[in-house]
Structure 1
Amino acid sequence: MEKFTALTGIAAPMPLVNIDTDMIIPKQFLKTIARTGLGKNLFDEMRYTQDGAEIADFVLNQPAYRHAEILVAGDNFGCGSSREHAPWALLDFGIRCVIATSFADIFYNNCFKNGILPIVLPKDVVDDLMADARKGANARISVDLAAQTVTASDGQVFAFEVDGHRKHCLLNGLDDIGLTMEKAASIDAYEAKAATLRPWA
């Protein structure tokens, strides 16, 4: 998993509440078990017409936000079914951070396991960042995970909370497999001892 330490990038404003996982990646794209290739279908039903043409006024189709790395969204982001394809699609598009007033629990957990930083901030702060994001590509937002801060384009700094273990995993690029491999020496020692004590096993 790619490390997340600090990020300065374009933030796309999505002032919608209850953006669910089916909106993020519709069910017809869940057949794959690959984590790549889903970015083109991110927010598919909001981005494209039924014949595949881009919907010009959807934020990620606008020139200023085609390379957005941060989403600023409304309350309860990632609700709905527990599909891990949702963070896969966001990450494949290029989104590394989502800022909202709240997240659905399973989606929130899946973000950390896939290298995306979900940040919870009070509504007034999210409103400020939403307004900042509306300024376009020249108004870049900075996120510093080590310092636990979000800095708006005008220099305002907002602190956020994050669980220490999850922070450690993101800073070091550790998913569940990576965490296990941190204990590889202990696992090897245990297996060697077990083989000696139970050679028949």
Structure 2
Amino acid sequence: MEPFQTFEGLVCPIDRINVDTDQIIPKQFLKRVERHGFGQFLFYNWRFDSEGRENPDFILNQPKYANASILVARNNFGCGSSREHAPWALQDYGFKVIIAPSYADIFYNNCQKNGILTISLDADKVDRLISASQQKSLHLTISLERQTIIGNGIHDHFDIDPYRKEMLIKGMDDIAVTMGYEEEITAYEQKHAIKS
């Protein structure tokens, strides 16, 4: 994973509650075995019609939100099944940060383990972000170290678990943490090896 410290990006608002993982990445695209290439299928049933043409009414198809990398959504984002493909699709599409009042627990954990910063903000602050980004292009600067969101008159603070913060800043996942103990693991295995 890449270390996450300060990030600046364009906001795209998804003004819906209970966006589930099947809406984020529909089940028919889960046959792929690699982690990359899912971005083209992100929000597929909303982005495209039944014949595969872009739906001009869906927000990601609007030129104003081209290259957006910060997603702002409503309550219970990422509910539904526990598919890790959902954060893979969001990340592959280009989203680095998600801001919402609440998330489904498994989705929240999957995002963090894949290097996506998920920020929980009060609903009124999310309302303000959604409204501002609908009126005109909204760019935000997110500082994970300072735990701040700044841009266009906005200056908010967010909370994050210290361990999650450290993992994102260092760009480490659980495997990388385990590999940090490689020498100790090897020594233990040698000491407790089964002799034939």
TM tier, smaller: over 0.9
Please tell me whether residue 163 in structure 1 is matched to residue 156 in structure 2.
Answer: no
- AA at the equivalent of 2:133: A
Q: TM-score, normalised by structure 2?
A: 0.95
Closer, same or farther: CA 182–71 of 1 in aligned 2, 3 Å: same
CA distance in 2, matches of 1:60, 1:176: 32
Deviation at 1:7, TM superposition (A): 0.8
Report the counterpart of residue 7 of structure 2 in structure 1.
Answer: 7
Report the counterpart of residue 143 of structure 2 in structure 1.
Answer: 144
Report the counterpart of residue 94 of structure 1 in structure 2.
Answer: 94
Deviation at 1:182, TM superposition (A): 1.4
For this pair of structures, how many residues does the alignment match? Answer: 196
Deviation at 1:142, TM superposition (A): 1.1
Report the counterpart of residue 57 of structure 1 in structure 2.
Answer: 57
Equivalent residues in 2 for 1:58-73 (5 A)? 58-73=58-73
CA distance in 2, matches of 1:136, 1:26: 30
Please tell me whether residue 190 in structure 1 is matched to residue 188 in structure 2.
Answer: yes
CA distance in 2, matches of 1:34, 1:61: 26
Report the counterpart of residue 172 of structure 1 in structure 2.
Answer: 170
Q: Which runs of 5+ in 1 are unaligned?
A: none
What is the SS of the residue equivalent to 1:189?
A: helix
What is the SS of the residue equivalent to 2:140?
A: strand
1:129–1:152 CA contact under 8 A, matched in 2: no
CA distance in 1, matches of 2:135, 2:33: 37
Deviation at 1:188, TM superposition (A): 2.2
Percent of aligned pairs with the same amino acid: 49
Equivalent residues in 2 for 1:128-143 (5 A)? 128-137=128-137, 139-143=138-142
Report the counterpart of residue 121 of structure 1 in structure 2.
Answer: 121
1:141–1:152 CA contact under 8 A, matched in 2: yes
- AA at the equivalent of 2:76: N
- AA at the equivalent of 1:62: Q
Report the counterpart of residue 80 of structure 2 in structure 1.
Answer: 80
Deviation at 1:134, TM superposition (A): 1.8
Runs of 4+ in 1 over 3 A off after TM superposition: none
Q: TM-score, normalised by structure 1?
A: 0.93
Q: Which runs of 5+ in 2 are unaligned?
A: none
- AA at the equivalent of 1:53: R
Deviation at 1:66, TM superposition (A): 2.0
